[in-house]
Amino acid sequence: MNDLVIIVQILVVIFLCVNMLLIVTFFSKEVFYTTMRYILFAVTLLSDSLMLFVSDILLILSSYRVTMQFGLCIIFYILSVICIFVTPVTLTAMALERYVAICMPLRHAQLCSTRSTMHCILIIHSLSSVPCIVILSVFCASASRSLYTQYKICSMEIFVSLRWQNNIKTAIYQLYFLIMSITIILSYVKIMKVAKAASGENKKSTRKGLRTVILHAFQVFLCLIQLWCPFIEVALFQIDLMLYVNVRYFNYITFILAPRCLSPLIYGLRDEKFLLALKHKVPFGFHCVKIKARTGFVCQVGCRDRLP
């Protein structure tokens, strides 16, 4: 188990460093923190970084059987659940932003202004807080007062100890999954219709928007897979303890750590403006060479020379 914990710590440090690099890049240019899709991208980065940090602390404490006061465990639970939902809800909002940009271009500047973005972020965090409020309210209604002063090993499972509590949690998760899936699918269908009717530069821009929505759908899918991991782990716990431990570490690395870093990194590298800003932040640097191709640039590891 110690080896697994060490492996996880190495991965967490690497992923946090990558996310911090992307966050620093976001604040490096005004165009990033005044444009809706970049601001929402930064929200996912901050949420993912906080999620990595909090979940890693809980993993270390539970691995070494360290107890904490139950009241403190509730705080960790609130942060974890909100961060779990902030990222997929934000990605859904980013898909809607692409829909507005392509299907309603004349209203994009009005609907996706910086002011509107701040309102959108408030709505995102409000929606992400609902599952946490419901689950905690249900738990507190059946918990004794003495429980809050007890010391326990903090884990997400202790808040859904009863079967009916777990059923409520499952229903909420499935409802969110359904709403986000339908929203992204409808956005994709609407953009596809516009893509078929577009021509020239508009067609190229629309197809790029389609690929972005598909990427958001993939990112949301990776984020939502982790919502199903506890149900698999509970079933395995009753079969074999060591299998349960190994699968739990595998799920944590594959469905929590990796998506929270790799998906934002892929999204950042796909965006030409963000990539050009990122190349000045990477220690080993990039140099970009113009070529006669549809992409316009090919970026390769090398010196840090600026483009002519």
- CATH number for position 76: 1.20.1070.10
Q: How far apart are CA 152 and CA 149, in angstroms?
A: 10
Q: Which DSSP letter does residue 253 get? A: I
Q: What is the pTM of this model?
A: 0.81
Q: Do the domain assignments include residue 293?
A: no
With 0-12 / 13-18 / 19 or more C-beta atoms within 10 angstroms meaning exposed / middle / buried, residue 260 is: buried
Helix, strand, or coil here: 97? helix
**pLDDT value of position 203:** 67
Q: Do the domain assignments include residue 79?
A: yes
Q: Do the domain assignments include residue 289?
A: no
Q: Do the domain assignments include residue 147?
A: yes
The token pair that represents 66 in the structure block: 């360290």
| pLDDT tens for the 308 residues of the chain, in order | 577 788 888 888 888 888 888 888 888 888 888 899 899 999 999 998 998 899 889 888 888 888 998 889 999 999 988 988 998 899 889 889 888 988 888 888 888 898 999 999 999 999 999 999 999 998 888 888 888 888 988 887 788 877 788 788 888 888 988 898 899 888 888 888 887 776 656 667 677 777 777 877 777 777 777 777 766 776 776 777 777 777 878 888 887 777 777 777 777 777 778 888 887 766 554 444 333 334 443 444 444 443 33
Spatial CA neighbour of 25 closest among 275, 305, 262: 275
Print the domain residue range for 185: 1-281
Give the distance from CA 17 to its chain's centroid: 16
Q: Do the domain assignments include residue 108?
A: yes
Q: Do the domain assignments include residue 32?
A: yes
Orientation angle between helical segments 258-270 and 36-63, nearest 10 degrees = 160
Q: How far apart are CA 120 and CA 130, in angstroms?
A: 16
Greatest C-alpha distance within the chain: 71
DSSP β-bridge partners for residue 288:
299
Count of domains observed in the chain: 1
Q: Do the domain assignments include residue 157?
A: yes
Q: Do the domain assignments include residue 54?
A: yes
